[in-house]
Amino acid sequence: MKYFAKFSLLGLASASLSPTPILTGTSVPTSLGSFNLTRGAACACQKLSHYSSGVILPNGTNYTAETVDSYWDVRTDLSPACVFLPATPNEVAHALEIFDVCNAQFAVRGGGHMCYPGSNNIDGGVLMGLSRLNNVKVNDDTIEVGPGLTWYDVYSALEPRGRVAIGGRLKTIGVPGLTLIGGFHYFNNKYGYAMDNVISYNVALGNGTQITVNKDSHADLFWALKGGANNFGIVTKFTLKTYDMPNVSTTIQTYNESGIPDFMAAVCNAAKLDEENPIAAGMVASISYNVTTKAASASLLGVQEGSDSPPSQFANFSAIPATSRTNNVQTMKKWAGTLDSPKQMFRVMYSHKSMKPDPDVLYSLYKIWKDAVNEISDVEGLYPTFVTNVHAPGSARVAQNNGIGNVWGLEAEPLILWQFSTGWALAQDDIRVQAWSRQLTERLHAINIEKGLASDFVYMGDAGEWQDPFLGFPAENVVRMRDIRASYDPRGIFSRLNWGGFKLGV
C-alpha cells in the first residue's frame, strides 16, 4: 500500500518524458523479498502508467502471475518495480524511449523459458512482458506472429491450412526467445533453424523508432537477428515461412540402461545423416537417471515429415530393444500439444558443449555424468537429465545457400550438442548445483579437446549463465554484430539498461 501511495505522489498525470523528481531509496516489499526503489525505475513506472495498459505494481492483482507464474525456471522469479504489458508495438517503442530518458534498467519476457535469473526478469527494474502482442495472421506460405505467442499457438493457427513452421519442439516455448537465438526444431536437417525461416522482423529500436527488417531493408540487421539474440532491439512481429505438411509421422520410444550404448550410436548416426534429397526428421533424445533407484532410461521423441509410419529416419533407434514404442501419424499441433513443459517446474541449470559424433566417447561422457550425479544425490528434488541435440550437415547448408546466412557460421559438418539439464528444489543448493554442473561440463569438454573431438559451438538455448556462446561464433561475425549493434543502438539501450540474456559484451 505504501508503495502504491508513493507512486501516486509522483505526478501520474504528467505525460511529459522529462525526468521527474522522485522519492527513491525505500525498500519495497514483494512476495519474494524486497528491492530498493531506484530513481530510474520509479521514473519509468510512473511514465508507463499513463498508457492504457498501465503498470502492475508489487501490490497489484496480477503481479505474481507476471513475475512468477509466467516463468519456467523457479530461479528466474524476481521482483520488478513494475510490470508493463504493452498492447501495441507503439507502446513497446515508447517504453524504450522512456527507459532511455529515465535511465531505467529493464527486462523483456517472451515465453519465459530462458532459464537463468535475469535473462528475462529483473529485481527492482521494469519488466516488459510481451504476452499481449499476440496477433497472428496466416498467409498462403507465411505466418505473421506476435512475440506474445507460443509455438503451440503457431502450430494451432497453421493446422487448418495443413502447414507447419520451423519453431520449438515442446508446447509452451515462446516464439521470440527461440527464434532470436536460433531454434532447434525437428526439421532442421532440411529446412534449417527457426532463425533461417524468418523472412521479416518488425523491430522497435532503442531510440523508439520502428523498422521493418528483411533482406531488402536493413539487411545487416536482418543477418544479425539470425542468432544474435536480444542485442539489437525488441522484435514486435516475426514473419515466418511455412511448409505444406498436413501430418507428421511420430515415434516415442524408451529404452532401459542396456540400450544406451546403441542409443548413443543412433544419435551419432542421426547427426551424420546427409542425404542428397533429405527427408525432414529430428528428435529430442535424452537420458534420465533416478538417483534413488539408480536406474537410467533413454527416450526418443522423433518426428518426420509426411505420413510414412513408422518413420524411416529412426530405423537405427527402432532396432534397439525398447521398453515402449508408439508410432503415430498426426498433426504438428496434436503432437506438440502432448509435450508440455509446465511453468515453475523446478530450479534448473543448463550446461552444454558440442563435439563431433563419436558413439563410444559420447557413451563414456554419459557414464562419467551418471557417476557424478551420484555425488550430489542428496540434493533435494534432484532431477538430472543428459540431453543430446544434433546438428546435421544439411542444417548448415540452408544458411550457406540462402544468400543471407546467420551469425553461427557453422560448417556443414555433423555435431552433437551434449547438455546437462539439472533440476532441484531448494535455493540453498543453488551454488552447489551450479558449480557441479559447470565443473563437470568443463571436465568432459577437456576430454573431447584431448581426443580432437571438441567443438567451440555453444547454443544459447542449452547453455548456462556461466557460458559465453559468442566465443564459439566466428570472430569476424562477432565483430560485425558489434558494428551493427553500434549503428542501430548507439546509446546502448540493450547493453547498458538491459543486461539479461546472452549479451555481446563490449
Ligand X SMILES: Cc1cc2nc3c(=O)[nH]c(=O)nc-3n(C[C@H](O)[C@H](O)[C@H](O)COP(=O)(O)OP(=O)(O)OC[C@H]3O[C@@H](n4cnc5c(N)ncnc54)[C@H](O)[C@@H]3O)c2cc1C
Task: Decide: is 110 part of the binding site for ligand X (CB under 6 A).
Answer: yes
CB-CB contact of 305 with 326 (8 Å): no
Specify the residue, 111 or 409, whose C-beta has the smaller distance to ligand X. 111
- Tell me the window of 12-20, 173-181, 306-314, 467-475 that interacts with ligand X (CB under 6 A): 173-181
Q: Which is nearer to ligand X, 178 or 280 (CB)?
A: 178
Our finding on whether 114 is near ligand X (CB under 6 A) is yes
Q: Check binding of 111 to ligand X (CB under 6 A).
A: yes
Stretch that binds ligand X, among 6-14, 113-121, 213-221, 245-253 (CB under 6 A): 113-121
Indicate which single residue of 180, 267, 415, 484 sits in contact with ligand X (rule: CB under 6 A): 180
Query: What angle (nearest 5°) sits at the alpha carbon of residue 99, between those of residues 98 and 102?
Result: 80
Q: How many CB atoms lie within 10 A of CB 239?
A: 18
How would DSSP label each residue in 334-356?
A: HHHHT----TT-BEEEEEEEEE-
Helix (H, G, I), strand (E, B) or coil at 309: coil
Grid coordinates belonging to 159 = 493446422
Interacting positions 341-380 with ligand X (CB under 6 A): 341
Determine the Cα–Cα distance for residues 423 and 300; give it in Å rounded to an integer. Answer: 20
Between helix 89-102 and helix 39-48 the angle, nearest 10°, is 150
Q: Which one among 149, 178, 267, 463 touches ligand X, defined by CB under 6 A?
A: 178
CA atoms within 13 A on the CB side of 471: 9
3 binds ligand X (CB under 6 A): no
Using CA atoms, how far apart are residues 441 and 143, in angstroms rounded to an integer? 39
Pick from 40, 80, 147, 394: which binds ligand X (CB under 6 A)? 147
Is 208 an interacting residue with respect to ligand X (CB under 6 A)? no
Which residue shows C-alpha cell 527416450? 299
Among 170, 372, 412, 449, binds ligand X (CB under 6 A): 170
What residues from 459 to 498 belong to the interface with ligand X (CB under 6 A)?
Answer: 461
Q: How far apart are CA 385 and CA 289, in angstroms?
A: 7
Among 119, 239, 299, 395, interactor with ligand X by CB under 6 A: 119
In the list 108, 157, 265, 478, the residue contacting ligand X (rule: CB under 6 A) is: 108
Element spanning 42, H or E: helix 39-48
Other Cβ atoms closer than 10 A to 185: 24
Contact status: 85 vs ligand X (CB under 6 A): no
Site string for ligand X, 217-246 (x = CB under 6 A): -------------x---xx-----------
In the list 310, 409, 464, 500, the residue contacting ligand X (rule: CB under 6 A) is: 500
Identify which range of 165-173, 213-221, 328-336, 448-456 contacts ligand X by CB under 6 A.
165-173
- Distance between CA atoms of residues 48 and 45, nearest Å: 5
Q: How far is the CB of 174 from ligand X (least distance, A)?
A: 2
Written as one letter, the residue type at 136 is: V
Q: By C-beta, is 20 or 231 nearer to ligand X?
A: 231
Contact between 168 and ligand X (CB under 6 A)? yes
Stretch that binds ligand X, among 174-182, 300-308, 317-325, 397-405 (CB under 6 A): 174-182
Taking a C-beta distance cutoff of 8 angstroms, is the pair 89, 130 a contact? Answer: no
* Beta carbons of 257 and 308 less than 8 angstroms apart: no
Size of the site for ligand X (CB under 6 A): 32
Torsional sign, CA 86, 90, 96, 97 = negative
Residues contributing to the site for ligand X (CB under 6 A): 72, 108-115, 119-120, 130, 147, 168-170, 173-174, 176-178, 180-181, 183-184, 230, 234-235, 341, 461, 500-501
